[in-house]
Amino acid sequence: MTTISQTSKDLDMEMSSDRARVLKSLAFSDQLFSFATRAAAYAVLLLLAGIILSLIAGAWPAMKAFGFEFLVTRRWAPQLEPMPVLGALAPIYGTLVSSFIAMLIAVPFGLGIAIFLTELCPHSIRRPIRLAIELLAGIPSIIYGMWGFFVLGPFLATYVEPGIVWACADIPVLNSIFSGEMVSNLSLFNASLILAIMILPFITAIAVDVFSTVPPVLKEAAYGVGCTTWEVVNNVVLPFTRVGVVGGVMLALGRALGETMAVTFIIGNSFKISGSIFAPGTTISAAIASEFAESEGLHQSALILLGLLLFVLTFIVLASARFMLMRLEKRAGA
Amino acid sequence: MASYSARRRNSSIVMGLCLAATGIGIAWLFLILFSLLVNGIPGLTFAVFTEMTPPPGEHGGGLLNAIFGSVLMTVIGVGIGAPIGILAGTYLAEYGRHSKITPVIRFINDILLSAPSIIIGLFVYGAVVVPMRSFSAVAGSIALAVIVIPVVVRTTEDMLLLVPNTLREAASALGLPRSFVIRRVAYRAARAGLITGVLLAVARVGGETAPLLFTVLSNQFWSVNLVKPMANLPVTINNFINNPDANWKQLAWTGALLITVAVLSLNITARFFGASKDGR
C-alpha cells in the first residue's frame, strides 16, 4: 500500500475514492440487511398482536350481545328469531373431553414408544422406526378425517363399541359414560382416538429428546447396582426428565385442543352435551370449520368468539409447556 | 424387595408393552397408507392430471385445476413466508443473540408454531378477506405464509446456532462486514439445515385444509386470477368426499392419495437432507 501511494499519487487518489465508494456501499447493504432481519423478527411479534386484535375485533359484537352468558349457555340456535341464542358450553365441553381422552390414550403409547426407542431398540432399526412414527405427524389432518370417517369409525361402531357397551351395561357410572343408545360412526370417542393417533408422534419425539438428556453415567450406575431396564426407566430416566415429559405432553395437548379437520369429519357436529362418549358432539374448531363459511352477523361473530376462546386456551397450555421445556433446557445447559 | 426373577419378569412385561406400543404406532401408519392406496389407486388415471374437476353427476374429469391451485398457493405462501422466516431466524441467532427481546420473540414464535391452524384462517378472514370483500387465492396464500413463518424461523435459528463461532470470527478477522459474514459464511455452513426447514414448511402447508376453508373457498374451473376463489386440493377433497356422487368420492380419494404421497415424500427428503449433512 505505502509503496504504491509513494510511487503514484494519481493511482492513490483513484484507489482511495474507489475504496470509499466500496466501503460506503458495503456499509449500506450491511445496514439494510441488519434492518431487514430486525424488521422480520418484530413482524413475528406483530403477527401475534394482529391475530389477537383481529379476533377481538371480530368477536366484539358477540361479546356485547351475550357477555358472560356465552360461556355457560348450552343452547346453540343460530337461526332463532328475533335473536339467535348462542352458547359455547357444548363446544367447550367437546374440546376438553375429546382432548382429555386423546391424552389418556396417547400418553402411555407415546412414552412406551419413546422408552422402546431409547432403551431397547437395536441401533440399526432405530432410525427407520423413528421416521415411521414421525411420518404419522406428517400426514395431513384431512386424511385422518377421511380415514376415521370411512375406516376407523365404522369399524369401532360395529366391532368395538357394542362390546364395551355390553360389558359396562350393569356398572353404575360406566354405563352412562359408555351408553349404547347412540353408538354410531360419528362420536366423541372416535374423534378422541383419531386425535390420539395424531398427537402420538409429538409426545414420542419430545420424550425421545428429553430421555437423551439423561447423563449415561446415571443409567450406568443404576444398571451397575443390578437394576432391571424397567427399574432404570422408572427410577432414573423418568424422574430426571419429568419436567420435560410434562412439557411435551402439554405441547401435544395444545395440538389436540386446536385440531380441526380430522375432528370435524368424525365428531358428528352436534351441539349437545351427552354424558356418553359414544354420542356425537362438537368441538370449538369443528364448529368453526363446519359453520363459518355459511355464517353471518351475530352467528359469525360468535364463531370468532369461539376461536378467541380456543386461542386463549391453547395459548395458556402451550405457554406453560414452553416454560417447562425451557426449565429443562436451562438445567441441561448448566 | 421382590425376588430377582420377579423383578426381571416385571421388567420384561413393561418392555413387552413398550414393544407392542411401537408395533401399534407403526401399524397405524401402514393402515392409513393401505386404505389410501386401496381407495385411491383405482381412480388414478391420466385424466386426473389433465382434466378439470367435474360437475356433480358427470363421469370422468380430473383434478388439474385443484392441483394447480394448491401448487400455486403453496409456492406463493412459501415464497412470502420463507424469506421473512429466514430473516427473523437470522436476527434471533446473529444480531439479536444477546438482546433482551430475543427470548420473547422465540417464545411467541413457538406459540405460533403450535397455534391451531383454524385460528390462522379466522385471522386472515378478518384481516384480508373482509377488507377485500372477496374470498381469494391471495388470502389463502397469506394464511399459508403465516403458518410457514414460525416453522422457518425455528429451523433457521437452530441451524445458525450450530455454526461454529470460529468460522464467524475468522471471517470477521478478514475484515468482512457483519452481513457478509452471515450471508457468505454462516448461511453457507448451515445451508442443508435451512433447506430442510423450508422443505418441512412446504410439507406442513401442503396438506393444510382448515385455514383455506374460508379464505379461498374453491371452484370448479380453471382460474389463475389471484383475487378470486381458486380450486385447491384439500378443500376439493373436503367438498367431494361427503357427497353421495361416486365419481366425486373417487376423485377425493385419489386426491387424498396424491397429497399424502407428496407430503410424506417431502418429509422424507427433508429429513434425508438434514441428516446427510451431519453424517448421522
Of A40, A45, A34, which Cα lies nearest the Cα of B80?
A: A40
Residue A30 to residue B21, Cβ atoms within 8 A: no
Report the relative pairing of strands A85-86 and A76-77 from DSSP bridges. Answer: antiparallel
Would you put residue A273 in left (φ > 0), alpha (ψ -120 to 50) or beta? beta
Our measurement of the distance from residue A2's CA atom to the centroid of its chain's CA atoms, rounded to an integer in Å, reads: 65
End-to-end CA distance of chain B: 42
One DSSP character per residue, A238-263 reads HHHHHHHHHHHHHHHHHHHHH--HHH
d(CA A136, CA B234): 18
For residue range B50-73, list pLDDT tens digits in order. 888 888 777 888 899 999 999 999
CA-based angle B223:B219:B267, to the nearest 5?
A: 85
Strands (E), A31-169: 76-77, 85-86
User: Computed from CA positions of residues B188, B189, B192, B193, in that sequence, does the dihedral angle turn out positive or negative?
Assistant: negative
Q: How many CB atoms lie within 10 A of CB A330?
A: 9
Residue A140: its chain B contacts at CB < 8 A? 206-209, 234, 259-260, 263
Is the pLDDT assigned to residue B150 strictly greater than 90?
A: yes
In chain A, which among 38-57 make CB contacts under 8 A with chain B?
Answer: 38-45, 47-48, 50-51, 54-55, 57
Residues of A in contact with B87 (CB under 8 A): 36-37, 39-41
CB contact under 8 A, A254 and B21: no
Q: Is B213 on the interface with A (CB under 8 A)?
A: yes
Could you tell me the pLDDT band of residue B265, with boundaries at 50, 70 and 90? very high
Would you call A261 and B209 a contact, using CB atoms and an 8 Å cutoff? yes
Q: Does B104 touch chain A (CB under 8 A)?
A: yes
Q: What is the pLDDT of residue A1?
A: 47
Instruction: Give the residue, B221 or B28, on which the prediction is more confident.
Output: B28
Best interface-test mutation with A: which of B92, B110, B114, B272 has the largest number of A CBs within 10 A? B114
Task: Please answer yes or no on whether A37 and B105 come within 8 Å at the CB atom.
Answer: no
Q: Percent of chain B at pLDDT above 90? A: 64
Q: Do A116 and B22 touch (CB under 8 A)?
A: yes
Give the number of other CB atoms < 10 A from CB of residue A52.
Answer: 16
User: Which residues does B103 contact at the CB level (< 8 Å), separation at least 6?
Assistant: none
Buried b (16+ CB within 10 A) or exposed e, A153-169: beebbeeebeebbeebe
Q: Is A277 on the interface with B (CB under 8 A)?
A: no
Query: What's the predicted TM-score (pTM) here?
Result: 0.90
Closest CA to B67 of B217, B211, B235: B235
B contact test, residue of A135, A303, A324 with most B CBs within 10 A: A135
State whether the Cα torsion A89-A95-A97-A98 is positive or negative.
Answer: positive
Query: Of chain A residues 68-97, which have a CB less than 8 A from chain B?
Result: none
Q: Which of A35, A33, A41 is nearest to B181 (CA)?
A: A33
Shortest Cα distance, chain B CAs vs residue A208, angstroms: 13
CB environment B175-202: b (16+ within 10 A), e (fewer): ebbbbbbbeebbbebbeebbbbbbbbbb
Are the C-beta atoms of A231 and B14 separated by less than 8 Å? Answer: no
Chain B residues close to A129, C-beta within 8 Å: 22, 26
A77: helix, strand or coil: strand
CA angle B144, B145, B151 (to 5 degrees): 95
Angle between helices A284-291 and B117-124 in degrees, nearest 10: 40
> Which residues of A fall within a CB distance of 8 Å from B29?
132-133, 135-136, 139
Cβ of B123 within 8 Å of Cβ of A142? The answer is no
ipTM of the complex: 0.91
CB-based contacts of A143: which residues, under 8 Å, 6+ apart? Answer: B32, B36, B207, B256, B259, B260
Long-range contacts of A82-86 (CB under 8 A, 24+ apart): A83/A298, A84/A298, A84/A299, A84/A302, A86/A62, A86/A298, A86/A299, A86/A302
| DSSP strands (E only) in A17-116 | 76-77, 85-86
Q: Please tell me what DSSP assigns to residue B43.
A: G
Please indicate if any CB of chain B lies within 8 Å of the CB of A134.
yes
Inter-chain touch B32–A108, beta carbons under 8 Å: no
Picking from A33, A132, A141, the nearest residue to B179 by CB comes out as: A33
pLDDT of residue A53: 95
CA distance A172 to chain B (A): 30
Question: For each of chain A's 334 residues, which pLDDT tens digit applies?
Answer: 455 445 556 666 677 788 888 888 888 888 999 999 999 999 999 999 999 999 999 999 999 988 888 888 888 888 877 788 888 999 999 999 999 999 999 999 999 999 999 988 888 888 899 999 989 999 999 999 999 999 998 998 888 888 888 888 778 778 777 877 667 788 899 999 999 999 999 999 999 999 988 999 999 999 999 899 999 999 999 999 988 899 899 999 999 999 999 999 999 888 888 878 888 899 999 999 989 988 888 999 999 999 999 999 999 999 998 888 888 777 765 4
Residue of B nearest to A116 (CA): B18
Lookup: cell for A45: 411479534
Chosen for mutation from B8, B84, B119 (greatest number of chain A CBs closer than 10 Å) is B119
Q: How many CB atoms are located within 10 Å of the residue B100 CB?
A: 7
Does residue B271 sit at the A interface (CB-CB below 8 Å)?
yes
Q: Which three cell numbers stand for residue A28?
A: 449500506
Question: Any idea how long chain B is?
Answer: 280
Contacts of A226 in chain B (CB under 8 A): 4
Check B91 against A37: CB less than 8 A apart.
yes
**C-alpha cell at position A224:** 451397575
Tell the residue number behind the cell numbers 378443500, with chain if given.
Answer: B235
Cα separation, B109 vs B85, in Å, equals 10
Q: What is the DSSP letter of A85?
A: E
C-alpha cell at B34: 393401505
pLDDT value of position A115? 93
Asked if B7's CB is within 8 angstroms of A37's CB, the reply is no
